[in-house]
Each structure stands twice: as structure tokens, then as C-alpha cells.
Amino acid sequence: MKTVLITLGVIALLVVAVFAFGASSYNGLVNQSQDVDAKWAQVQNVYQRRADLIPNLVNTVKGAANFEKSTLTAVTDARASVGRVTLDPNKAPTNQAQLDSFNAAQGQLSSALSRLLVVAENYPNLKSTENFQTLQAQLEGTENRISVERGRFNEAVQAYNSSVRHFPTVLFAGVFGFQPRAYFTATPGAEKAPEVKF
Amino acid sequence: MSHSSRFLRFFAGLVFACALAHSAFGQESLPPKPDRYFSDRAGVVDLETANRLNHELADFERETSDQLLVAIFQKIPDGFERDDFTVKTAHAWSVGRRDRNNGAILFIFVNDRQVRIEVGYGLEPVLTDATCSLIIRREIAPAFRQGDYARGVDSAVHAMMQACRGEYHGTGRTLADSSLHGISSWMVGTFVGILLLLGWVTRRRSYGYGRSYDTGGTWFIGGDSGSSSSSSSSDSFSGGGGDFGGGGSGGSW
């Protein structure tokens, strides 16, 4: 009788312990995944901000006498292809390939834009206008914001992914359906300044 | 004995080495949070201007709750890009209020001839990238080219204030003012509480011993009177948890 009671007690204790542990790791995972989603929304935000700047930029540059057409087309094309790769802004992607194609499209727009800024150096009349200088400052600002928010997003994903994959949270992550999230990998050549040939 | 002491020394060395390694590699070595609004680590602005601007910036926080800082460095620390360094430092110093993110820092790197205005999320609508770029090109660069750092910083600070004014309203106190008040009133409260308890205990005791009613219950009042008002007018800076997302602009001269 006594041994039965003791066994029951031990089992009850174990159940309580497992439940408490599961609850705390579940809550931890929920917090981390919400953090990832919040940072992802921020990333989308800053990319959108850049996309919104482009019509204005294109119009300003177009006004400059015989501005190199190919540079402008590259920007508008890249802007269009960015618009085709849309990801849910409220939930960070779990599919790495999806994020990679998003990243590639955005990377193309980045290089088209920085090329445009480099080419603009050859148009002193354009460069000296207030409008262009303002746009340039805004463009540099968004690029900087993008790199900041991407960096923070990657940090959040790393923290979340390592929780999801490590023992013992991995036991609960599978049960509750927490999947590892995709993160930004550097696009090849993105760190290089664009080459401009005349 | 020599064994254990050698072991202790070894252990202490190990702990020290770990601590050192942690501080060297664990965190990127960002500069410590300043305790003033205006900090000039390169020594290019005269003391009078520095103190005046520090006071004006403290008053600006009292008026608007915005925390604007000026941080002048000799150079950008090794291993950092300018903008990477400034946004990380601004994040670490947590300038601005947590609920408003209304901080901004004017960074100047004298030897690199580089300047950057880092703007917190909450001030981005008023201190836009374009405005910051204008401030750098019009106020800072011309004066700095002539070597007149004081004039450049002075007019840049005033331009920043002008842009920010009206976005938020202050409480008449800086966060440092409030926290000093907070701490001292809390300390005074505890102090009074302990004294009351002591007074109560001694009174009970003195009744028990048949002595006359002594001063135990009253002498704490003197300690309370003038303690909290002394430091409230200092212009020291205390960060409020504001965050930064890379807004602002940079330039060189």
C-alpha cells in the first residue's frame, strides 16, 4: 500500500514537472517567435519605404538633361521585380528558398540604385539640385535602415532557431509546431560597390 | 598549503582571463554611456560652449522630453564602419524615452572628418534624413572646414532642436532629475520607516524600564527635511530606453 502511494506520488510529481517545463518552454518559444515576427515586420517596413521612394527618384533624375537611360530602366525593372516577390509581412517566412528569392530581388534593386547614384556623379547640374540631394539622403537613410533591421531580424531568428533545435526545447517545439525560420544570407557580390563603365 | 594556494591563484587567474576574454570578445567594445548631454572626448570644443550646450540640451529635455546628445570622438573605433558604430552605440546608450524613442545623437569623429546624426524611431518624422543631411551640409561642414568646431556644433544643435520642437511635450524634468528624486524619496521613505520602527521599539523598551518618554520618536524628522532637493538642478544625462533603427544622415567635411 505504502509503495503504491509513493509510486503514485512520484508519478504525479513527474507529470507536474514535465507540464511546468513544457509550459515554460512553450511560452519562451511563443515570445521568441513573436519577436521574430515583429522584427520581420520592421524589415518589410524599411523595404517598403525604399520602394516608395523610387518613383520620386526616377522622376527627378529623368528631368536631368540626357541622363543615361539604361541606369534608369535598371532601377524601374528591379523595382517591378521586387513588387512580384511578396511575402506575408506579419509572419516571418519559414521557407529559406522563398526568403532567398525575396533577398535576391531586393539585392538587385540595391545595386541598381547604388549604380544610379554613382552615375549621377557625372551630372553636376543634377547633383547640385536640392531635390536630388534630398533624395540621395533619403535613399542612403533607407539603405542604412535596411541593414540595421535585417541585422536585428537575423539575430532574433538565430536565437529562436537555436531554441527550437536544442534539447530539451526541441521536444516541445515539435509537439507545438514551432518550425525554424529562414534568415538573410549575404547575396554574392552585394558587399561590392557596383562597377560603372563609361 | 602551497598546493591549495597555487590552485587558488590558478583559479583566480582563470576567472580573470575569462572575464577579460568576455569583455574583449563577448561584447563589441562600445563606448560607455556618457553622463552628460554634451561629451567631447577629442577636446575640440571650449569648456564654456560645452557647458552651455549641455545645459541647453538638459533644458530641452525638460521642455520636450526629447533627449538630444552630442558625442565627439577622436576617431571611429577600429573594426567599425561609421554607421554601424553609431547605431550600435545609440542603441546601447538607449537615448530617448522607452515609449517615445525620442532620442537623437550628433556623432563627430574629428580625425576621420566624419559626422553622423543618429535619429531614434520617434524623431524620424521631424528629424528626417533629408533634414539631417541639410544640417550637416549647411551648419556643420562649412564651420568645421574652418576648424571652428564650437560654432558648427552650436548651430547644428540649435537646428536639431528647432526641427524637434513641437513633436513631444516634456514634464519640466529630465529623466536624471526624476530618477534622482525617485531614489532619494525612496531612500528617505525607507530611512523614515526604519527610524519609526526603532522609535517604536525603544519607546516600548523605555516604558518597560520605567524611564521617561525619550526623543526616539522625533529625531528622524530633522533627517528628512532638506535631503532630496539638492541634486535636482544638475544637468546630467540618464537614458530612458529609446531605440534607434538607423534613421538620420551622415557626411564628412
pLDDT tens, N- to C-terminus, chain B (253 residues): 455 566 556 555 555 555 555 444 445 689 999 999 999 999 999 999 999 999 999 999 999 999 999 999 999 999 899 999 999 999 999 999 999 999 999 999 999 999 999 999 999 999 999 999 999 999 999 999 999 999 999 999 999 999 998 788 888 888 888 776 555 566 767 777 888 888 777 766 655 444 444 444 444 443 433 333 333 458 889 888 899 999 999 999 9
Distance CA(B199)–CA(B193), nearest Å, equals 10
Q: Is B31 on the interface with A (CB under 8 A)?
A: no
pLDDT of residue B151: 94
Distance CA(B80)–CA(B90), nearest Å, equals 14
pLDDT of residue B184: 58
pLDDT of residue A62: 82
Q: Is A149 on the interface with B (CB under 8 A)?
A: yes
User: Do B247 and B121 form a contact (C-beta atoms < 8 A)?
Assistant: yes
Minimal CA–CA distance to A60: which of A142, A148, A127, A10?
Answer: A127
pLDDT of residue B185: 60
Contact B246 A138 (CB under 8 A): no
Q: Where does residue A149 fall: left (phi above 0), alpha (psi -120 to 50 degrees), or beta otherwise?
A: alpha
The alpha-carbon gap from B191 to the nearest alpha carbon of chain A, in Å, equals: 39
Q: List the single residue in B with minimal CA-CA distance to A153.
A: B245
How deeply is A79 buried, as exposed, middle or buried, from its count of CB atoms within 10 A (0-12, 13-18, 19+)? Answer: buried
B38-40/B103-109 β-pairing: unpaired
Residue segments in chain A with a per-residue pLDDT below the cut of 70: 65, 187-198
In single-letter form, the type of residue at position B193 comes to: G
Contacts of B208 (CB under 8 A, 6+ apart): none
Q: Is B129 on the interface with A (CB under 8 A)?
A: yes
> Taking CB atoms and an 8 Å cut-off, how many pairs form between chains A and B?
42
User: Do B34 and B71 form a contact (C-beta atoms < 8 A)?
Assistant: yes
Distance CA(A59)–CA(A31), nearest Å, equals 44
Q: Is A145 on the interface with B (CB under 8 A)?
A: yes
pTM value is: 0.74
Which residues on A lie below 8 Å from B246 (Cβ)?
141, 144-149
Vertex B241: Cα angle to B237 and B245 (nearest 5): 110
DSSP state of B252: E
The alpha-carbon gap from A81 to the nearest alpha carbon of chain B, in Å, equals: 26
Q: Sheet holding B114-120: strands in order across?
A: B38-40, B67-73, B103-109, B114-120, B244-252
Give the residue ranges of DSSP H helices in chain A: 2-63, 69-84, 96-120, 124-127, 130-165, 169-176
Q: Is B128 on the interface with A (CB under 8 A)?
A: yes
User: Do B236 and B36 form a contact (C-beta atoms < 8 A)?
Assistant: yes
User: Do A160 and A181 form a contact (C-beta atoms < 8 A)?
Assistant: yes
Q: Is A8 on the interface with B (CB under 8 A)?
A: no
Q: List the single residue in B with minimal CA-CA distance to A130.
A: B134
In A28-57, the residues whose Cβ lies within 8 Å of chain B are 42, 46
Which residues on A lie below 8 Å from B120 (Cβ)?
none
Which residues on B lie below 8 Å from A136 (Cβ)?
133
State residue B62 phi and psi, 5-degree precision: -60, -35
The alpha-carbon gap from A3 to the nearest alpha carbon of chain B, in Å, equals: 47
Where b means 16+ CB within 10 Å and e means fewer, B38-65 reads bbbeeebbeeebbeebbebbbbbbeebb
Substitution target from B119, B127, B133 for chain A, most A beta carbons within 10 A: B133
Q: Up-side HSE of residue A156: CA atoms within 13 Å toward CB?
A: 23
The alpha-carbon gap from A152 to the nearest alpha carbon of chain B, in Å, equals: 10
